[in-house]
Amino acid sequence: MRVTIISIPVRDQEKALQFYTEKLGFLKNKDQPLGGGNRWLTVVSKDDPDGLEILLEPAPNHFEPCKVFQDALQEAGVPYTQFDVDSVDAEYDRLTKLGVEFRVQPKVYDNTVKYAIFNDTCGNYIQLVENL
């Protein structure tokens, strides 16, 4: 058994695609219409294009429990998921210059990790993590 795809709920797939590709640097991988204006829309890391896919899932628009969960996480300031990076400081500087809004600036936790949390503009906080 292996993990090949994860999903991140987004409220606007096109806006999410632009953010995840233009700001975060992911590559569009799959884009297939599903009907009703929805798409099977995935992105992959430019550093590992054959690796894990992220599905930009429009569930909050069609499944109320997903929207409630997403709202609750954001209200509590809890990240939906995390992305590992080589340098949180470098990513923070790069993304800040691109206009990405951070909820938490880079911080060290327990001398083992550095992290920062940003808003993906699509209903989620995402945490960046660097192992120290």
CA 45-120-31 angle, 5° bins: 50
Each residue's pLDDT tens digit, 83-93: 999 999 999 99
Q: What is the pLDDT of residue 54?
A: 98
Residue-wise pLDDT for 112-124, tens only, equals 999 999 999 999 9
For domain 5-131, which CATH number applies: 3.10.180.10, 2.40.50.140, 3.40.50.1820, 3.90.180.10?
Answer: 3.10.180.10
3-state secondary structure of 26: coil
Q: Which of 71, 70, 72 is nearest to 57 (CA)?
A: 70
pLDDT of residue 61: 86
Cβ neighbours, 10 Å, residue 69 = 15
Percent of the chain topping pLDDT 90:
92
pLDDT in tens, 11-23: 999 999 999 999 9
Q: What is the pTM of this model?
A: 0.93
Can you give the pLDDT at residue 36?
Answer: 86
Query: DSSP character for 20?
Result: I
| pLDDT one-digit tens code per residue, 57-71 | 998 888 999 999 999
pLDDT score at 113: 97
Q: By three-state DSSP, how is residue 72 classified?
A: helix
> How far is Cα 82 from Cα 115, in angstroms, rounded to an integer?
9
Mean pLDDT (the chain) is 96
Task: Determine contact, residues 127/79, Cβ cutoff 8 Å.
Answer: yes
Residue 34 makes CB contacts below 8 A (sequence gap 6+) with 40
Q: Where are the domains of the chain?
A: 5-131
Give the mean model confidence (pLDDT) for residues 90-104.
Answer: 98
Q: 79 pLDDT band (50/70/90 cuts)? A: very high
Q: Judge contact between 108 and 132, C-beta under 8 A.
A: yes
